[in-house]
Each structure stands twice: as structure tokens, then as C-alpha cells.
A = this chain, B = another copy of it.
Amino acid sequence: MLPKGKIRASIVGITGYTGLEQLRLLLVHPDVEIAYLTSRQHDDVAIGEIFPHLSHLDLRVSNTDHNVVGAESDVVFLGLPHKTAQDVVADLHGKVKVIDLSADYRLDDVAVYEKYYQEHKHPALLKEVIYGAPEIHRDAIKDAMSVANHGCFALLSQLMLLPFAGDIDHVDIMAITGSSGSGRSASEGTHHPVRNHNLKSYNINAHRHIPEITRTAKITEDQLNFVPTSGPFTRGIFATAFVKTGAAPKDIYEPHPFVRVMDNVAMANVVGSNYCDLSFTKTDGGYIVQGALDNLVKGAAGCAVQNMNLMFGLDETAGLSCLSPVYP
């Protein structure tokens, strides 16, 4: 399963923040070499010309067709916009290991997908692509040809609720994300003069990550309030869940190296790393659960490396556990 030499990894869609973070992490991995970095806007350009912070790298960005990339890689990471990844996964599935960081294959029920997103062109594939949350589907990921990475809000919320799955009467979640979650394109919501000292919620009870959360927590949408909020910082998500339940949280995270159960969660303790910190505080009628992760690492590219490790039979922590939080 593991290639003889290093794993040839490619990133299709390198120019977004997810693609860039994928590259940052793969460069640390001792068992990986970069095959292709692709973008539709650039062909055969040194990466440092597009991203000066990477000008020390001897790597080029091309607009190579993804089928060619797939044929010459052991694993392909997709950093494409939502909807664009639908066809690419369909083209590559079964031919090369694929890890899709878009939202296109996160849901396995086409009706739910089409309620929250748009029409899906390959509905049959939804059930074949495995949901890439290693703390939930580790064994299935090991055998998967294609993996669909979770939403960043969604993964944190799921890890917070999983110890109560099946026992939740109701849950209210308030989750705050850094501006890097909005991607690399400037927009009103990431305009620095205001974002710099603002807090503002959006898509309350209408966010696309909701069906990922309810599926894992085994609740209906009626049992959840979800308040996504934008915060004045670059990296990180910090979430608070008020869980109404008669049950105690199951002690499930001992075998999972990147989940740390703490007395208190502080977002600065995880930034830059693949760790997700959780705390559970007993209350009348349930628990207050808090959690934090770096949206670009554990919430996206780091978890993708974790998935890659599982898919290739490597230690789950390879190339990740050496990266401590960048503190302060």
C-alpha cells in the first residue's frame, strides 16, 4: 500500500489558503515528496512568484490536467472551490487516492446535500467517498480510495458532541472563527478596518456545516441551534456548546492522539498545530463543552495529512506530531 519511495503527493488548487496550508504541512512530512501543484490561473510559474513567502522553494505551479496529475501521483489533495471538485473527484476516484477538501462529498445523502448546496452531478459517488474525520471513521478511512474532508466548524462541533452522541436532548452552539476561514479573496466581511475589532454572527441555523454535525451527534436539526460567528483574529475556531443531556460524556478520546481533553480550553494553545482541545463542565441538566482548533490545520489540511497517513498505513501522527502549537 505504501509506495517504495516517498509518497508522491499533489495539490490540485494550490492558490487558496487550504491549498497553501496543505503544502506547508506536506513539506514537513518525512515520507512525502511533492509531485504537482496546480492552478488554473498559472502555468509553469515558480511558486515564489505567486507567493513571495515561499520564494525559497524550488517548486513550480502548473495548470496540468488533473487526470495527468492523478496518473503521476500516489495521492491528490483537492483545494478547489466547492462545486468544482464534483467532477474532479469523479474523474480520479479509484485511480489514485484522493483527499477532497471541498464540501462536495461531505454528505452521503443527496437530498440533504441538495438542500444545503446545489444539484450534485455524481450522487452515486456520495456514499463511496468516506467522510474524513479520523476520530469517527478511522477504520473506513484506512480502506478508502477517496476521502471528503469535513467543514472546519463541523469537525470541531462533532468532536465536542461525539462523547454524547445518541444521548443529546438539545444543544446550542456558539462558534467563532478567524478570518482565514473566509479564504484568500478580499471581501467586505474580511475588510481589516472593521474586522479588526468586530464580532458578528451569520447564517444562524442555516450554515452548511449543520448536517455534518447532526449526523454525528444523532440529533435532528430541531435539536440544534448553531451560531457561526466571525472574530477579529487570523487563525482558529473557538466553540461553546450547551448540551442538554442526562448522560455523562463517554471517555472516547484516549486512542486519538490529536484530541486533548483539558480543564480549560484556550484558542492560543492550538494555533498552528493539529490539536483539538476540548473541555467538559458539568451543569444542571447537562454539560458546557468548549473546544478549539486551528481551522486551517486540524480543521482542514492537518486532518487531511492525518487521513493520508491512515490511507497509506503510516502512523497516524507522521509529519504532524512534531508540529507544536506556534505559541505565543
| Interface residues in chain A, defined as those with a beta carbon under 8 Å from any beta carbon in chain B | 17, 20, 23-24, 27-28, 30, 51-57, 170, 172, 174, 176, 178-180, 182, 184-188, 190-202, 204-205, 222, 225, 227, 229, 231-236, 238, 240, 242, 257, 260, 262, 264-273, 275, 277, 281, 283-285, 288, 290, 292, 321-328
Contact = CB atoms under 8 A, between A and B. Distances in A.
A178 B193 contact: yes
Q: Which of A27, A55, A196, A270 has the most CB of B within 10 A?
A: A196
B284 A222 contact: yes
Contacts of A275: 56
Contact of A194 (B178, B194, B229, B328): B328
Contact of A200 (B30, B174, B267): B267
B321 A56 contact: yes
B179 A186 contact: no
A202 B264 CA distance: 8
Given A201-B290, A242-B242, A288-B204, A52 B324 contact: no
25 contacts: A24-B324, A24-B326, A51-B327, A52-B264, A52-B266, A172-B172, A186-B187, A186-B191, A190-B193, A192-B192, A192-B195, A192-B232, A194-B327, A196-B232, A197-B271, A198-B267, A199-B231, A199-B233, A200-B267, A201-B240, A202-B264, A232-B232, A235-B328, A272-B272, A326-B326
Interface hub of A30, A54, A270 (most chain B Cβ within 10 A):
A54
Contacts of A54: 324-325
Contacts of A23: 324
Interface centre among A55, A186, A199, A270 (most CB of B within 10 A): A199
Given A187-B186, A267-B200, A180 B328 contact: yes
B268 A198 contact: yes
Contact of A324 (B53, B184, B185): B53
A198 B269 CA distance: 8
A55 B328 contact: no
Kindly list the 4 A-B residue pairs having the minimum CB-CB distance in the complex, ordered from nearest. A193-B328, A53-B269, A198-B268, A172-B242
Contacts of A200: 264-268
A170 to B, nearest CB: 7
A321 B57 CA distance: 9
A48 B119 CA distance: 38
